[in-house]
Amino acid sequence: MKTVLVVEDTQDYADCLAHVLSQQGYKVVTAAEGMEGLQKAIAIKPDLILMDLFMPDQDGADVISRIRKQPALANTVIVFLTALSSGTGAEGEGITVDGREYPVISKMADQKEILRKVGQYIYSS
């Protein structure tokens, strides 16, 4: 069973995403903010991390920089979640952090599309 860590500060969205993913057979762990996400990533070593781009304590890019400094997580698949619909960071555009490009999934995408993309990213690693 593949494990997905969802780092998302909007509890309702995190719960919905966790429910949808768990219904498809993924083990899902959630974190409500960046530092909690980092701690959980270190503890569980997930197969995929879905990282909210904008969070109150620190942005997702900062958390990713910290995650990448952990040798056991250096190659973990990470995908940004964002509500942005156009411009920098919009779905379809990668977001570069420390010289490495990360894919983006729009929070506005329907559940089937999110599941398709999660499957694509988690099984292509």
Domain locations in the chain?
3-123
* Tokens matching residue 29: 């762990």
* Residue indicated by tokens 């559940």: 111
| CA quadruple 101, 30, 119, 93: dihedral, nearest 10 | -30
| Amino acid code (one letter) for 26 | Y
- Residue 41's pLDDT is what? 97
* Tokens matching residue 6: 């969802």
* Tokens matching residue 47: 């197969």
Tens-digit pLDDT profile for residues 6-21: 999 999 999 999 999 9
Q: Which CATH architecture has domain 3-123?
A: 3-Layer(aba) Sandwich (3.40)
Tens-digit pLDDT profile for residues 50-102: 999 888 888 888 999 999 999 999 889 999 998 865 444 444 568 888 888 89
